[in-house]
Each structure stands twice: as structure tokens, then as C-alpha cells.
A and B are shown apart, each in its own frame.
Chain A
């Protein structure tokens, strides 16, 4: 009965190819199939369930290039039992992987529009696949703006890539920190402060927002103040998950299962529940 085709709870084995430290508590794992068989290709915004032998399993967004699904890349903070064990994994260690699950950033339906990507902290990780897709299909989109906020410059993810993106002529990248440290000479302040003046046309823009829920809440407000309508704002929601496949019940948010109806959700669909305490 088991085997990963027949049983949604049975993982496929992947091996660690590389582990990169992003900052004090965040790391990125690059995985490849242990025995040749790989999971179905993922789409930007989706997540996998990652299992550490004998410890447990957690959902982590895929943050690699969707056009290169053989190598799965996951960035996460080492803050719980499972993630702390995961942070100890070495090259060639194995993980169980199930997925890909969930909804994705709507890349097909936003062609022709300006795109505003707003990431906060580790929220840049689920946005990165969308950025890869955009760069590989650049002519399909209007102006593309990335607004990224982190706690300090040391906490930023993918710093080298951020610099590369910033040096492109067809991508505008604005970065800010909550707190200036070291020799930081850039913007200081929460990422929402960059929205009023960012170079996108609110009448024909779609926003992808990802970060802590409180950051997303105020980002949506700032976007709406600028004139972006609720049906053109997409959030990446997070909830507790045990199965990732729609039957453990843990990830419910109002009537939505975040593992199935999300994590990427269009704001007008969820606005009646979003922001209501403890829903």
C-alpha cells in the first residue's frame, strides 16, 4: 500500500548536496534525489514536507528555480526541534521529502502587469522562485520591483544574489533594514515605508507579499493606500501543518486549508478572516 505514489504520507528520500549558512539562525539546504526518482516539478510558492529521521517533519517553502526541479532548495530558520536537527545535516545525509503541495504564485495570470514583490525576513525565500521565473521570462512582465526588509544587513538572505539582481537594468531592488548595523549606508525602516514611493503603477500592478503575518497585514494596507486593489494582492500564508495534504485539519484558516487553498492566497478571498484575532 505504501510507496510514495500510493500513499500521501510516505516520503521520497533525498540527499543533502550542500548546506549554506545564511545568517545566525537561518540556513539553506540543497537536495537531490537519493535514488534517481524525483518528486513532481514544483511551482513558485509551493512547499514540501521535510522529514528528519526519527525527529519529525515540517513544511518548508521551496526556494529554488522551478525550471530546475531536480535540485530542491529549502531555506529555513533553526528554531525548533526538527529544524535544529536539520541544521546539523551534512553532505550526503538523507531526508524524507513529500510534495510539492499547495497553491503557487499566479505567474501565468499576471503577464503584462507590473509586479511588486514585497518580502520580509525569511519571506524572501518563497518569493525567490518567482524571481527566477520572472527573470527567465522577463519580456512577459512590465516593471518589476522587489522590496525587501530584514532585521539587519547581517540577517539578509541571498545577499550575493540581491546584489546581482540590483545590478540588472530590468529589475528594481530596494532593500531596507529595521536596524542599521556596521557600515550600513542604506535605507533604515520597515519595508512598508518603501511602498508609497516605489516605482510601480498601482492601476496595473500585482503584488506578491511574503513575510511575518503582521508585516503582511501592514504591507497590504500600504499597497491598498497606494491604489492596488485586493484582487491584485497575493499573500503567502502560514499555519501549523502535520500532513500537508488536506486531512489532518491543522492548517485551517477560516474555511481554508493553507496546505491546499494556500499558502499563496489572493487577498480579497481571505480579507474577511485576515486580521481577525485568533482565526
Chain B
């Protein structure tokens, strides 16, 4: 069914599940590379996908501290899972990127600029927490002085199709962090998947002019009030099901005054300093720079690579590492997320996605750790 006029920003549309491929086609036609969830290696990862056929239809995930399993759903929902290990920083803040190269000439060398243009990416399936994470990365990488031109360019070109959550993941705590499950802006289109008497369809919220243009190419109609309400109710239900909470009241000051809490040593007994948390965290942005040369020495390159504060090299200066013990590195990571980030960028660095809890091999739960430090702090005072 075609609409009588073009979609406008803030319109709520209905797109049938079978018409969703039209959105992919419209994006491809406009030169976008579509990135979305797909099944691989026993998980739901994010990668370049061709269309609806690559989505993890009928699959969801079960997550616990230190555990992740796929599970078959009873329906064929396309976005019925919670969150996979990949965050969108993998595409907006590429973990491996060449910055420039240099050539040796006549006993000197000259620097050569990168010529490749960055791709237009359409991110499909962005959850509310991840939307906030992208907003946080915008603040860190695109709004600083100087800005990171690689991130700024990818971000500017990106098209975001956010998708509301189906249920609360067991390790999620977006409500505590104020990052979900509702989404209000920051997307081009926001979809809520519904499978009910009306069929299998999406209520789509048009978030921007770009989104309106894309939606216009896809078979759609305006949503009825009932359909909009059904979508809203779904999201509200997710908010009620949150499995974890984190009290953020005064948490920055609390962590700053507890840098010497005995709890950190207790965590250090468990933490392997493996850095998984920094890899899966959607806001961890640290990078390192690697200058390399080929065997002949005729060409040198500078690469930027994702890095983790859990390595000893991260804080190394002549004489040794500032953070030599795993205790200090875990403390750095957690206090950065929940305290320093506020002073640096005005928000928490954590969006409550729960990935660090799920993907920690020993199941360290940062919501529990913050609780424990707070309890020790109260006992002290």
C-alpha cells in the first residue's frame, strides 16, 4: 500500500516484514554499505550484510556474567536478540586504519596523504544503548579540538536504522544509565518489530530528513494509533524487565574518594587483565599508533590501532609503567567509565549495555563491583 504523501520527520509508519528488503535496496541504491546483525561463529555479530536474508531471523541470545549462548526463538523475529559482542565503534572508529605513509627519496623522506574516501555506512539494528554510545563517541572524537577526521567523516556519512529491543538482556542496565530502552532522537529511522494479529511488521519512526527520503522508497503506510501504542507498550515492557541496576547517584565522587578501597585488590584477584571488556565496550575509544617500515626501508607507514588500557604498555614511560599492577588497570577502566568520563565529557562513559559483564571470562560484573565499593565506602564513613 502506498502512502498519499511523502513521509515527514516524526511520522510513524508501518512497513511489512516482507517489504523490509526494500529499505536495504533503497540504501544500496544511494551508495550505502549496509551493516547489520548476522549469525556467525555461534554469535550474533555485526558485519556487512546484503539484506533481510542475512538477518538472524528466529534467533535470540542468553547472556550471563561470563556466558553467551544462542537460543532459537519460537517466532521468526528478525531482531529478536539482545546484543552481540560487536559494537558500532568497529565501523565508525575502525580498529585498524592507516593514517598515512612516507616514502624515502634522495636521502630524505616525504609524507604522502591517504587518498581513499571513507565509505557511506548504513548501520542497521542499533539499540538504544548503542545509540547513546555513538552519541558519546561523537562527543569524544568528533567534537573535540582537534576532531578525529576519520571518525567525523564516517559519522557524517552514516545512516542509522535503530531497532528497539524485544526484551531486556540478562546483563542489561540501560534504565539505570538513562540510555534506554526508549529512543527519542539520533537516528534516521527507528523500528519496533511487532508480530501479532496484524501480522509481522515494523512500526517505523522517521527521525530525520534522510530517513524520510529512504522510507519513501519502501512500501509503507501511516501507522494507526493502536499500532503506535503497541510499539510503545513493547518498549515500556522492556524497561520493567531490567535484570540489573546501578545506582548512579553521586557515583563519580564516591569512586574518586575510594581510589584506595580494598575492593580493588579483591577484584584484582579475579581480573585477568585480558581486556575483553575494552574490546566489547561500545564507548572504549583508546587507540595506539604504530610506525612501521617495509624491509627495504623505502616506505614507512603509520597505522592507528585499537588499544586497551589493560595492557602494561598502555601507560609505559621511561622507567616503567605507571599502572604496573592489574589492580590499577581495572581501577583505571572502571573509574574512567563511571567517574572521570563525567569530568572529561559531561556524561558517563557507560551506557548499560552489559557486554563487559557477558564477555568477561571470569564474569566480573561492574554493577556488583560499584555496589560493593559503595557499601565499603558507607561502612567506612
**A106 in the interface (beta carbon within 8 A):** no
CB-CB contacts below 8 Å: B299-348 with A:
300, 302, 304, 307, 309, 314-318, 322-325, 327-328, 331-332, 336, 339-340, 343-344
Q: B99, B256, B289, B332: which contacts A252 (Cβ < 8 A)? A: B332
**A257 in the interface (beta carbon within 8 A):** yes
- Whether the Cβ atoms of B309 and A249 lie closer than 8 Å is yes
Binary contact readout A53-76 vs B (1 if CB under 8 angstroms, 0 otherwise): 111110000000000000000000
Q: Which of A143-151, A163-171, A190-198, A237-245 contacts B (4 or more CB under 8 A)?
A: A237-245
Contact partners of A80 in chain B: CB under 8 A: 318
Q: Which of B41-49, B104-112, B196-204 contacts A (4 or more CB under 8 A)?
A: B104-112
The binding surface of chain B is classed by DSSP as mixed
- Whether the Cβ atoms of A247 and B340 lie closer than 8 Å is no
**B250 in the interface (beta carbon within 8 A):** no
**B100 in the interface (beta carbon within 8 A):** yes
**A227 in the interface (beta carbon within 8 A):** no
**A226 in the interface (beta carbon within 8 A):** no
Please tell me the number of chain B residues within 8 Å of chain A, measured between CB atoms: 53
- Whether the Cβ atoms of A11 and B111 lie closer than 8 Å is yes
- Whether the Cβ atoms of B336 and A248 lie closer than 8 Å is no
Q: B110, B111, B316: which contacts A240 (Cβ < 8 A)? A: B316
- Whether the Cβ atoms of A249 and B286 lie closer than 8 Å is yes
CB-CB contacts below 8 Å: A237-270 with B:
238-240, 242-243, 245-250, 252, 254-255, 257
Binary contact readout B257-269 vs A (1 if CB under 8 angstroms, 0 otherwise): 0011000000000
- Whether the Cβ atoms of B291 and A57 lie closer than 8 Å is yes
Q: A7, A55, A276, A279: which contacts B291 (Cβ < 8 A)? A: A55
- Whether the Cβ atoms of A252 and B336 lie closer than 8 Å is yes
Count A-B pairs with CB separation below 8 Å: 124
Contact partners of B140 in chain A: CB under 8 A: 247
CB-CB contacts below 8 Å: B51-102 with A:
99-100, 102
* Assembled-state Cα–Cα distance A279/B144 (Å): 24
Chain A: minimal CB distance from B155 (Å): 14
Interface size class of A (residues with CB under 8 A): 35 or more
Q: A34, A79, A245, A276: which contacts B146 (Cβ < 8 A)? A: A245
Chain B: minimal CB distance from A71 (Å): 19
* Assembled-state Cα–Cα distance A3/B340 (Å): 32
**A94 in the interface (beta carbon within 8 A):** yes
**A33 in the interface (beta carbon within 8 A):** no
- Whether the Cβ atoms of A248 and B286 lie closer than 8 Å is yes
Contact partners of A254 in chain B: CB under 8 A: 256, 340
- Whether the Cβ atoms of B307 and A77 lie closer than 8 Å is no
* Assembled-state Cα–Cα distance A207/B328 (Å): 31
Q: B99, B114, B328, B336: which contacts A278 (Cβ < 8 A)? A: B328
* Assembled-state Cα–Cα distance A3/B100 (Å): 10
**B287 in the interface (beta carbon within 8 A):** yes
Contact partners of B318 in chain A: CB under 8 A: 77, 79-80
- Whether the Cβ atoms of A255 and B339 lie closer than 8 Å is yes
Could you say which of B104, B288, B322, B324 has the most chain A C-beta atoms within 10 Å of its C-beta?
B322
Given the known interface contacts A8-B146, A54-B293, the answer about A13 and B110 at a Cβ–Cβ threshold of 8 Å is: yes
- Whether the Cβ atoms of A248 and B108 lie closer than 8 Å is no
Chain B: minimal CB distance from A126 (Å): 15
Chain A: minimal CB distance from B122 (Å): 22
* Assembled-state Cα–Cα distance A10/B309 (Å): 24
Chain A: minimal CB distance from B141 (Å): 6
Q: B109, B145, B260: which contacts A276 (Cβ < 8 A)? A: B260
- Whether the Cβ atoms of A247 and B285 lie closer than 8 Å is yes
- Whether the Cβ atoms of A94 and B286 lie closer than 8 Å is no
24 residue pairs of the A-B complex, CB under 8 angstroms, read A1-B113, A2-B113, A7-B113, A8-B149, A9-B100, A10-B99, A34-B108, A51-B291, A53-B104, A54-B297, A57-B289, A57-B291, A239-B315, A245-B146, A247-B148, A250-B286, A250-B314, A254-B340, A255-B340, A255-B344, A278-B322, A278-B325, A278-B331, A279-B332
Which residues of B are at the interface with A, using a C-beta cutoff of 8 A?
99-100, 102, 104, 108-111, 113-114, 140-141, 144-146, 148-149, 153, 256, 259-260, 285-289, 291-293, 297, 300, 302, 304, 307, 309, 314-318, 322-325, 327-328, 331-332, 336, 339-340, 343-344
Known: A10-B111, A53-B300. 9 other contacts (CB 8 A): A1-B153, A8-B149, A54-B292, A56-B289, A239-B315, A246-B144, A249-B287, A254-B340, A276-B259
